[in-house]
Every structure is written in structure tokens, then in C-alpha cells.
Structure 1
Amino acid sequence: MSCERNGAILCWITLFLSHWTRAQISFSVSEEADKGTVVGNLAKSLNLNVRDLQSRNLNIASLYSKKYFEVNFKTGDLIVNERIDREELCPNTMKCSLNVEAILSNPVVLHRIEVVITDLNDNAPEFVETSHFLNISELSPTGEHFLLPLAIDADTGSNSVKTYRLSPNEYFSLDVNSGEEHSVSAELVLLKALDREKQAVIKLVLTAVDGGKPPKTGSLEMDVHVLDANDNTPSFSKNLYKARVNENVPAGTFVIQLGATDLDEGDNGRVTYSFVKRANFDPSKMFLINADSGEIVVQGNLDYEAQNAYEVHIKATDHGPLPRSTNGKLLVEVVDVNDNAPEIVVTSLMNPVKEDAEIGSVVALVTVTDKDGGKNGQTQSKLTGSLPFKITSNYKNYYSLIVDGALDREACSVYNITITAADEGTPKLTSTAVVAVHISDVNDNAPRFSDPVINIYVKENSPVGARIYTMTAVDPDISDNARVKFSIKRDPNSIRVTSLVNINSETGDIVTLQTFNYEELKTFQFQVQATDFGVPPLSSNVTVNVLILDENDNTPTILPPYSEHGSVNSETISYSAEVGQIVAKIRAVDADSGYNALLSYHLSDPKGNNLFRIVTSSGEIKTKRRMSDSDLKTHPLVVLVSDSGEPSLTATVSIEVVVVESAGDMKTPFSHAPVKKENFSVLNLYLLIAIVAVSVIFLLSLITLIAVRCHRTDGGFGKYGAPMITTHPDGSWSYSKATQQYDVCFSSDTLKSDVVVFPAPFPPVDAELISINGGDTFTRTQTLPNKEKPKVPGGDWRYSASLRAGGVMQSSVHMEESSVMQGAQGVLVQNWPTASSAADAEGGEVSPPMGAGVDSNSWHFRYGPGGPGAPPQHLKPGEVPPEAFIIPGSPAIISIRQNQGGEDDKSDFITFGKKEEAKKKKKKKKEKKDKKDKGKDDGDE
């Protein structure tokens, strides 16, 4: 590749350079060499295989207008490509060389090659003058020297003018001066005195001979005119004068004062000074000489870069009738001044530069030149500002611009790099050049979402295909590297989100694929992936939470007992009912949530508004006033249950309230009618007394058993009979003492727990005592020190209370069946009775009526074996296994009557208040006992 100099268009070389060498390779070739002449073997000089030259893309770069050299890739030789004229390239210089750059790729290596152009003797010496005249006095003494014209030769070195020859004659000879510093000159020497009368004009031929082989010559014809008279010649005080003057000095600056003397008198002794024009140099253009005084001053513009020295010849001539003259020499040395700023030439190799370019990648070559000499021509280059680039020196004034840091197109896409070059002169001169380096994009940025988590709120029952959200992601790259597509990231462990929603890959619109139901699906989560079109593609994820918003699309549901199929919703109330007495309690639920499930209760029948009212929040129907004789005996009420949604949805239930004359005609306490608050409080007091009494009895029994156990020698517990529980067709229960003996174990938490009675062969030690705390779950309270432990029932007894919408409380006693109760010595496995809520469809159950809330005291019992739905082993329907008797710690109302009959085998009864007669008997017994233990009860309370 070649480049044009001084304003021509530079070539753009795109190479990746990873290493630079500062070694210089030198070759030499003769000028005028034929095209194809081998300069040298470049492959050998670079220590490369010839095959590697082409594979590594060897290029020869230079700043000359012609491509003088090229490489033969077959032989590895550097050959001549253009005619080389040394005199054209390097005029007036002793050494001529061409500097080119050899650039290799993969990896990139730069070598500087200097080709020295050797001179051929292709130019003959020439004289500027076509003829020359000399006036020599006949009085001139022998040995006098006369300066002859100077021949010029475009060749240099040994091919330049080496000597002069004079045609044969009897009067003159040549004195050739071959000085070391300057050109060869010749002077005519007078061998014998002249005689004008004998020969007035002497014709001579001066021949200049160069040092070539064969040598070339140039001739000049000279006429010597013999003058008569003035026989003394002026003479200079020095054979060679020297002077130094700075370049660029103004005109009139003093250079030197010459001095010449003539021994003659008068005009023959008066000397006049003048310049002698030699060849193509006229000293009068640069200097001015005072003809009378010999003072020389500057007249022209001295430029060190154009010519650093001047050889000036001066002639001193007297004023005699036959003037005589002498020649002197003045060497004027021009002193360099730092008057040239460095020149910067940038050859771009890689533009634009990729933003992921490695540190050390070469961007451009920088050449700095300074026309000054010495230190004034030595330069240093640097970059201005803080940039991810730096400039390094390759060889002398050759530099490389390389990457010195991480590039980021998103931060800066164009770098305007300012290169500053300064010389080492005094004062320093600087110059700058601005290089625009463009950064090309690389896909180094993944798309970014604005938030790490996106929450989308969607109303239930929204139409299919509705756009619920538009995803957006930003990629700071450009073009395809910034174009983003969206997709839903599949997760095999989660629900199939693709069946619920879909996303438009181009626009990011998320649309629904089905209608959502809040009651079935409240929320789901998936991830959206944004991927750009770069190579390789980059992606990022965002978590999307879809939250279904509830709508009021479910009507309130009335809970049992008023919602039971085929049931008659009727309630009774005593004629003497007080104001505020609870008649019934309506409970309802709503499948919606929030305000859509917030229920309120209203009486919609205006006929009942004057006697009854309903609590809006709880659904309790109460009396507004006392009964009067004018009131109807039957009051139909319609209860309207409304939610708080928009629009509000409602449900209705009809209740018929019947007024009875006395409390005895009312339904049992387990019916829908509630117990009065005053009676209910007295009953609680009685129950508290009974529970405390039973707990004291159990505690005393436990202490007695422990005492007996400590004094027994056989290591067994005392034998106690466990009661047999029997059900009757009328729904009541009774129990009697059985003849079978049982071991009784008590826990340390007897006062607040249930009592479990195990069968007789139960071991005295290493047994786990199990209590049912608050009717909730079994807990182990004590471990006796035996290796083998009994297994406790596998189920749990639960008392659950859940607060429904509208403030309704639903209560149940749930006793799950225990699978096995086994003794340590392999006793018979017994099944436990099962008691569960009325909601159970199989197995044993006990359930309170669902209408009166926590005031309900009506129970139904069924029994089951180890699994739900099967009858117990060796039991009849309605019987309780005699092997285990459990008094659960539940909130049920239990009355206990103890019979001390013993032998008459009268049964003790556990009576649930289902028959009015049993209730009256129990009440009479308690009244008697209360009167007897009144003082004690007050203290306990």
C-alpha cells in the first residue's frame, strides 16, 4: 500500500496489531535498478517461513508517492517495483535511504525497513559557464594561483567530481584542492612568467573528472588574457574565513569583516572586494559585501532547513591600470533555530473500534516529523485528557495509538483523541492533531426491566383475550442488539401458566386465555424473559405476580339448621319472655372475600318489626318488648341476609316463632330456643361445683393409689371396676360398675385433663400417661420407667370454634376415633368410641344442633371401630366398650348422679338434658345438695 505525501489522500489500513518490535532491518540497492531486482530476503530477515508471509498478510507501507518495493511471496524476497532515481529523491545529500514498514497480521507485528539507495555514476560533471576568461598580468610571478570555475556533478560520494585536468601547455598547471569537508576545487598555477608580446591570449581546456568506474568528464574552454603593468596582487589575511550566523536573522545582520592588502601604491594598491559567482550559487542573493571595507552582512532569508552552510568566494582586486586580484574563501555556517513545529501524520488502521477490543489493540499509526535539527528536531508525543487510549513509541518519531482501557459504546460512542507533539528545542514548539475514533456496538447489555417484581391485578370474570399488562424492557445497545422479544419462561414445577395467559413476543402485551374465578384461583406467578437479537443473545427475567380481584358473584349461604333440606324453621318462646331474649340465631357465609363477604342481617317482614328485632352484625333475633294479650301466637319472620358488595346480593330464610304459655311447653334446652341468661348462669355455677368435686375425688384417688402402690409388694395397682356405659332407646345414657377389673393410671395434670382408664393387665411402670387438654389433643404427661410403652390412640379430640362472616361462631366437639390402645404385655386391643361433628357422613359421631350457636346442648352418638363406618368388635349398637371410659374435657353440659347402692347394681347415670323428666330429677338433687353445701360452695366460688 502507498500513501501520497504533502496533502495527498492517505490509505486506511485496517489491521489488528498485538505486538510491535523496534528492530530495524537494513537493505541496500543501487539506483536505477531494474524492476524485479532483489533487495534482500525479507522472510529470512524476519525469521519467518515463506508460507507464513501470505497467510499472515504481509503488507509494505510507506509515505512515498510511489510504491518502490514489493514482496515476492514465493521466495520471500523484497524486490524493486519502481524506478529509483537517487538524485530525485535525495538531492544534495550524501546518504539516501527509503524507510518503509513491513506489517504482519495474526498476530500483528511491525518492522521498520531502511533501504539505502547506492549511487550510480549516471551523471557527468558539468560547468555552469560555457567559457571562462582570465586576465593575468605579465608581471605575475610564477607560482601565482588563479581560481578556476567549479564543476558540479549530481552524483555523490565517489561518483562526484574527484579531480580536474588541464590541457597541456607550458605556462600553467593545476592545483587541485580536495578538501575533506567541501567539494574539490582547482586553481590555475603560473609556471613561468608571461610575455604578452609573445602570446597575448592563451587558450586552455579545463576538464573535471568524477570518481566513477569508468569515470565521466566535463570540459570548459578558458581564455587567458595577459595583462601588462601592475605587478603586485592583493592578498587576504586568511586563506579561509569562517563565520556563524543564526537562521532567520533580519537583513543587515553583520556576518564578518574581510581584509586584503596590496603592496602597490595608488590605485594599484587600492583594493575592491566582490563576490565570485560559482556554479549555480550567487552569494549576492544571500549576502551583501561592502566593496571598499570588505564587510559582509545578511541580505536574504537564511533557512537552516534549506541549507545549513554557504561557501562564499570573494575576490579582492586592485585599481591599477592592469588590475590584479586575489581570491578568498568564506564558510558561513547557519545556526539552527527552533522555528519549526512538529508535524503529525496519522494513518488509521482500525476505525471503528469494537467496544470489546482488547487492551493493547492498535488503532492507528502516528508519524511525527520536525524539520529542525539536533534537539530541535527530536520530538515527544502524548495524548491530552483521560481517555482509554495511549500512545507508545515504536522507533524514533514513529508511534502507535493503542487501546489502554475498557471501551463502552453506551457511555461514549466517539472519542476525539487529541495528540500533542512537542520538540526538545528552546523554546519548545508543539502541534496537535485530533483523531476521531468511533466505537462500534457489541451485544454486551442484557434487556433490563424497570422492576424486579411486577404485580398485575385482574378482576375475576374478566373476558378471555383481555390485555392485562404490557411488558417493557430497555436495552442500551443499538440496532438488533437492542431489539427485544418477550416470552413466558416455563417452569415444570408450577402450574401451566401458558394455559392461563399468553404474551405477545413483539409488543409485550399479556392477555388472558381463560376467565378467572377468585374462589378457585386467587393468585399465580410466572416469569417473563426478555431476549435481545444480538449474537450471542442476552436475556433477563422478571417475576410476574397475577392477583385475582374478587367480585361480588356469590350470594350468601344460610348455614344449618335453617338451611337443612326438609326442615321446618320454627322456634318457640315463652309468653313471659323478657325484653332482649334471644329467639334464634341466623348464621350465613359468603364465598366471596372482603366487603363482598361482609354480611348483615335484616328482618324484611314488617309484621314482626314491632315484637322482634335482629342484630345486624350477628344475626341474633331478640325480643323488642314483652308479650301482650293482643299479640299473635304465631309470628312468621323473613330474615334477609345481604352482603356488602356492589351490587349487593341477598339470601332469605323464613322462621316461624310460636308463643307458648309456660316454659315447660317450650322445646328442650337442646332445641333452637336459648336458655335465659339468669338460668344459664346458675347452671354454669352448678357445673363448676360438679367439676371441682370430681377433680378433688380424682386427686384423692390418685394420692391413695400412689400410697397403695408404694406399700404393695407385688408391684401392681389396685383393682378397680370401670363403669359400663349403656345407651337407651330414648336417647339417655346410663353406666354401672362392671365386674371386670381395671388398672387406673392418673397423670400429674389430672385437675385440668381428662381421665383415661386402661384395661386391667396394664403394667404398673413405663407407661405413658395421656391427657386431653381442653378437649383439643392428646399429650404425653408422664413416662413410667419401663422399656415398653403403650401406644396411645392415633386420633385427636378437638374442640374447634371458627368465626364466620357476620360474627357467627360455630362450635363442635370432635372426638376422633383412636385406632389402638394396647398394654405393655400384649393385652387385648380395644377400640375407642368415636364422636364427631354432624358434618361427618360416616363413622361414629356426636353433634350438637346447628342453630343455637354455643348454647346448643343436643347430641347424637354413633360408634365405630378402628376405621370409620364399621361396627365395634363384640358390641351392640348403642353400647360403649366397658374396657375404656373417657370423660372428655369438653364444653358440653354434663350432669352426674352418683348411686352408692353397690350390691343392688343400680347404675350411675350420665344424663344429657334431652328429656324434661330427667332434667327435673337432676335439678331437685342439685337443690338439695346446694342447700347442704352452701357455705362450701361460696368459698370455692
Structure 2
Amino acid sequence: MGIGRNNDILFWLLIFLSDWTAAQISYSVSEEVDKGTVVGNLAKDLNVNARDLQTRNLNIVSGYSKKYFGTDFKTGDLYVNERIDREELCPNTVKCTLNVEAILSNPMILHRIEVVIVDLNDNAPTFVEKSHTLNISEFSPTGEHYLLPLALDVDTGFNSVKTYRLSPNEYFSLDVQSGGEHSVSAELVLLKALDREKQAVIKLTLTAIDGGKPPKSGTVQICVNVLDVNDNTPTFGKTLYKARMNENAPAGSLVIQLNATDLDEGDNGRVIYSFVKRANFDPADVFFINAESGEITLRGSLDYEMQSAFEIHVHAKDQGGSPRSANGKLLVEVTDVNDNAPEIMVTSLMNPVKEDAEKGSVVALVTVTDKDGGKNGQIHCKLTGSAPFKLDSNYKNYYSLVVDGPLDREACSFYNITIIATDEGTPPLSNISIISVHVSDVNDNAPHFLEPHINIYVRENSPIGAHIHTVTAVDPDINESARVTFSLDGDSETIPITSVISINSETGDIVSLQSFNYEQMKTFQFKVQATDSGVPPLSTNVTVNVFILDDNDNSPSILAPYSEHGSVNTESIPYSAEAGYFVAKIRAVDADSGYNALLSYHLSEPKGNNLFRIGTSTGEIRTKRRMSDNDLKTHPLVVLVSDNGEPSLSATVSIDVTVVESSADIQTQFRHVPIKEDSFSDLNLYLLIAIVSVSVIFLLSLISLIAVKCHRTDGSFSRYSAPMITTHPDGSWSYSKSTQQYDVCFSSDTLKSDVVVFPAPFPPVDAELISINGGDTFTRTQTLPNKDKPKAPNSDWRYSASLRAGGVMQSSVHMEESSVMQGAQGVLVQNWPTASSAADGEGGEVSPPMGAGVDSNSWHFRYGPGGPGAPPQHLKPGEVPPEAFIIPGSPAIISIRQNQGGEDDKSDFITFGKKEEAKKKKKKKKEKKDKKDKGKDDGDE
């Protein structure tokens, strides 16, 4: 039987329809009815006026190769158009139906029509065999059953085989067994013991009768051969064996183990098993039986959809001289498994689909089937992916593919729609079908340029008509909607653009209509419009910027004062000019730009000694070396100024450099030419700041040094003499009357002083108080009277100090915040020291680090808070204690003890005090000068 699909009728019928519904109508008709037999009235069942059937274009669509039904548009009747043979359409099925669709247009209505084909008893039962032979022993017991041939009837239901009849005889009767939904079988039953000698062959007629009205029948001849052997027949344990097998069971699987017994011994009791072929079914094609053991296994594959059950008859025969046999019956039921995937069939209605198709437009019809039964045959269908389509269910497994969203051909010109159908079996099986839907174009896209704006670079002096650029625009549409033409859109703000450039409307080539000059016009702008050829046409604009590129068409120009064409300029330099002497600076400019305006300076000198050089970038002419007697007095120089263009352009200037004897002879003509200052770099700034800082520091240091060392109140230096004091390694001091001369410099702001005491045998008449500023300079402050002779110092007061190598004592005690002991008016202002010292406790002796001398007296200084030898608390005006000396600036009175060994017990005091006291006694210096000189001579002796 061939089954197909009529796609052309469905395509042309539904291509422009978008609104329809679905319904179900059932009819029944007998097979083999005449053509024109009315099945039902569609106008009535569809609730449509019969006159509207033709205007609404009623059409009957089916998936069969023959058109079994037709429609009468006048009456609305559905009639039989072709002979219907139920056995041809639905073999081996109980219910036979034909499914067709009735389609009405305007609006579209789809009705599902199911026509049940009623079976007629038009086929008689038949036997495959013409005759059947049975070998029955004469010793066979009565009641023994013998299997008879099976009759076949292609009709189903009540029209199939229902019973069997046996021709009348005295030996046998018929035992008819009904298999329910399966076939009916018959067995021959022995009623009377056979006697081979009386009748060796018995001929019988077996008739098969179906259940039709009237019934039909078929016959087969049964020939019974009476055998005279074995008297025991093998017997099976069950009259009916049942087994269940999955349809996907592998080959070799065990079906059942049969067992037939025979009471005989030896060969008469050894049973051999075999299959019995009945009609057109041979069990050996599907199953295998072990002849010795009776074990039945699966030989081939099972398919529930092809055959759901097998009725197998097994023959058990002994091996006696007159073998006896028995027949066993086995019913093998096949269990359905989900081994069939759903099948998808697609009928296209609208392909390609316009990209402006409305939502809900029908694209195709989809039918899904599954050969499995039960849940294994129930199907769910869906789409995968994000395509703008969906499946609408019409009826059971019938669907429509419709548009479910906006389409855009430019975004996607075709869709591969994947349909997945899945059954409800365990495990579920599925199938995939891909539908290719093409989208047709409409003009919904304007052309667009590849860049938001276009920059064109054109060299100046380019020829007229030169191609300068090609404008390109693309349109995502196709065909005419994508054909683009170009045009100029309006004029520029500065120039009439159509007089400058033109554009080819087809190719977009832009050509120049004039030659460009960079020095006159550096850039201009215009717009280009691109228009497609669609209906309606769409367009877009783009801005084009044209930049004129500079060409090296201008030579350098020499600036004043050397700019006079053809003139020779003169410069003079002295004969004593050193190397690097500045002669002149050439300045030039170029009207071009970029590298074309980058100038370099070169010097062309006559042959001979090279005396001058020029800065390549600065244009400064300087000497390379000193002049010599061999050099000429006049040097003609030619300066070449070149730009960096291709090719390079240049200009020259001539300068005569004259060598004169001295700088005074140089007649310089000042030319007020603006010179472009070089940029002041950060490095120059840092160098300038460093130079200024160092200069300021140097000047401040110099001024401070002069102020400290050279500034005096009287503006002059004084020369004084003092005795020599030396130290011994044992820590004692030595005193010599030899004097040394010191230059003393004072400042007016001296605040603190130190006191040094020189002990002597006799106090000099003109002993003075000398103030020392800084420890190295002396000044006379006060003359001690001769009547004040030193008293013996108290032993509790001792002071040891160290002397510098220059013979000046420096105290190891630092006195702070002192007051001055003044000898005027008899008032003594006394403060006791608050000092820090290297000595501990009440006082300590510090041995001098160095010294030793001749005619020296050793002495000790001791300091302390007071005691019996402390300085007196009251003195007369102008008196100074002979055994003490005063440190103005330090609130301490220090007593002195002289060791024996000098010429006199008197001591010389040199007191370092403030300059105010020195000023008071300035008037007395002249009077005492002679006395001091005389004392100096005595000290030398």
C-alpha cells in the first residue's frame, strides 16, 4: 500500500489565509460500496449554507494516494469517490479509519473528519495446505487429540473464522478451541480405537466457517494413516504454556522450558521436540527449540508493532519403532517497549515569509505520529531556540507553525526552526525535524556610511580632475532596495562646493574641479547624500572634511638685516677674537609648514683654513679658532638656508667678515631686529637659582667675617704684651716674665668675658684688667693700685684649668647669666656661680695638659661655694681683692694661691671684663703707656 501527502493543494489553498479554527466530525461507511455513496452532509454538520460551500472554496484534503471522498457543492453531501477495500487499507487491524480535513475559506475553518470503514464479509476462510496427513497408531487411546490445520480469513471481527466442522465419521470428533481475541483452532479427537487391519487410511474433510451473515467457509482434506506401533504417547505437563517477552529482548534469550514425558523406555520413551508450522507462520523463523531438552530461545528480534503475540505449537515425538507424539501449545506475548521515536511530517504553506508578515500568519502544518501504543505513543511537540515562531495545536498531534514576532531580514534572512517531538515512554524517545524558513526583503533600511565622518587629505597643486576619494555606503537590503546613488548635499559655508568638487552618482568617486593652494585654503567641508532605489526610497548624509596637505613649493626667506637680495653684508671681528666668538646670526622663515618649513643653516667657505662655523639650527656664525697671521683680513662667507622638503628648496646670503686689530676699531651698526628668544628650560632655571643662592651665601659669609674680625669701637687695633704662661706634665703651671705681643680686636656687643690671672712676685705698678672676647683677644680694662698687694689665698679655693698652645687660659667652667663686678663708687655687686663643670662635689683639680717653662712659678686654682678664704663681701671703692680675680659675665670670685719660688708674693692680675670699663680708662692709657713699656723691658730682662 502506498501512502503520500498532497502538498500542492494545501499550499495554494492556505497561503493567504490567516484566521481559522479546528473541529472534529465522525462518519462511517461500509467497504466496497459503490462510487457516489453518500457518507454524510457536510453543510449540515459544518453549519454552513450549501450555497456558500463553493464560494468559500470547500476542499477535502487527505494524506492518501487516492482521493476516496468527494463533495457535492449543491447538496453539501460527502460521497465515496473511490472503491474502498478495508483489507488493503487496514490489514491486521480491528478498527479501520480514514482521516481527512475539510477546509473552508473566508474565514478559514479546518475540520477534522474521521471516516470509519465498516468491514464486510467479502472474504472466505482459506487453508494454506491443500491436504493434511496424520499418522495415528492403532494403539492410540481414545480421547487423544490431534492438531488440525489453521484456516485464515483476512476479514476481522465477526467476519473472521469462528468455528470448524468435521465431516461425519465413526472414529473422530472435532474439538474447537476459541482463542478469544486471537484465532480459533481445532483438534481432532479420537473417539474409537483404530484398527489398521480394518481401515488403514481414513479421509476426512475439515471445514472452517466465519461469522459473517451469510457465513463463508473453506475446506481442507485430512488423511489419517493408522500406524501399528507404540502404545504410549508423550504427554505435556500443561495443555497451554504462556510466556512474556520484551520486544527489545536480545537474540538467545530464554523463552520457556517445555517438558513432555513418555512412559515407555528406551527409544520409545526418548522424546524429540520440534516446532509445528501452521499456515504461513513458521515458529522456527523467530524462535529456536532444543530438540533434546525442549528449551525454547529467541532466534530473531521481536516487534510489538508488527505482532503482539505468537501462538506456537510444539510437537513431542518418541523414538520408538512406531513413534508416538503429542502436541503442546505455547502462547508468547510480546511486551511493548518504547522503541519507536515520534515521526514528524511538515507541509509548508508560506515560504518565503515577508519580513513585515503579521503576527499569527500560518507558515506550515505539522503532523506528528508514533507507532508505539499507550503512553509510549503519546507525544508532546515543541520548538527550540529563539526564533520568532510558535506551534499552535489544532487537534491531537496536528499543529500549525505561525509567526510569533517581528521579522527582520537584515538581522536574519532565514531561520532553521527545530521541532522536537517527545513521547511519554520510559525512557522517552524524541525526534527532531528542522524547517528552513526564508524571510523575503522589504525596503526598511536606509543606506549608511561606514564612518560617521570622512576625512580626505589632498596635496596642494594637485591637477584638476584628480580622483581624491571614493565614498562608500552600504544598504542591508537586497536587490533594488540596496542599489545606492550618491549626490552632493548643498554648498559649504565658505565656498560653492559644486565649483570645487564633483561626485559620480553610481560609484561615489570624488574628483577635484580646481587645484588647491595650502597657503590660501587649508580645509573645507561638504556633505554627501546616499539614496537607495527602494519604494519609497530612503537616504542618509555624511560630512566630508577635506584637508589640504602642504607641498614644498616655497623657498626659505632671509629676514632682515640680511634680507636684501643680491647685496653683500659686512661684519667685523677683532684679531684677538677667541674661538666661539659671535660674528652674526642669520634668521629665515618658510611659508610652508611641517617638515617643509624646518630650516637648516650651512656655511660655504672658500678653500683654505676653516675659520668660521654656523649653528645648523640656530643660524649663529661663530669662530672656530683664534686668528693667525696667515689668515686673510677679509673672509667672504656664503650662508645656505635649506628646508627639509622633498625636494629641498634653499636660499643664500653673502657676508664679508673683516678682521680688525682691536675691538675698539669695530664699527658696529646696531640693527634693531627682533630676535626670537629661545625657550627658557627648567634646567636653566635650576642653574640660575643655584648660582644666585651660592652668591648670596658667599656674600653673607664674607660680611659676617668682616664684621666679627675687623669691626672695633675705636676703629683700630691695639697691641698689648702679656707674660708667658706654660704648663708641666705633672699638672702645674709655669710663669715667665717674658711677654708676648697680642693683637686684640673687640666688638661693641661683647656680653661675656673670661678672666685669666698671671701670678708674679711683685704686682706691677701698671697691672691692668684685660678683657678677652672669644678667648684669644685681649683688652685693658683696669689698672690695679700698687698698694693693694695680694694676700695669701685660702687653701679651700683652688681652680685648675687647661691652657691652649698659644698661651691663653680657657676656663673649664662655663658661667651663665652673670653680673659685672664694678670697682667704682665702692660698690661690689656679687653673684655666686651656677655653673657646669667636669669637676665633681665641692671642687676638683684639673691638671693642665701641657706646658713647662723656665723661671716659672707653679700655682693652683680652686673654686668653691665660700668659706674662710671666700672673697670679701665689702670692698672700698675701686678695690679689687689681691687674691681674687673677677669674671665679668660669670657670677664667681676665684681666689689664687701662689707657690713659693717667685721673686715676690705679689701677683699680676689680668681681668677680662666688659668694654664699658675699658672705655672709662681709655683716657689713662697714654699716661700708663710708658710705665707698661718699662714693665715690658723688665720682663724681657
Larger Rg: 2
- Structure-2-length-normalised TM-score: 0.49
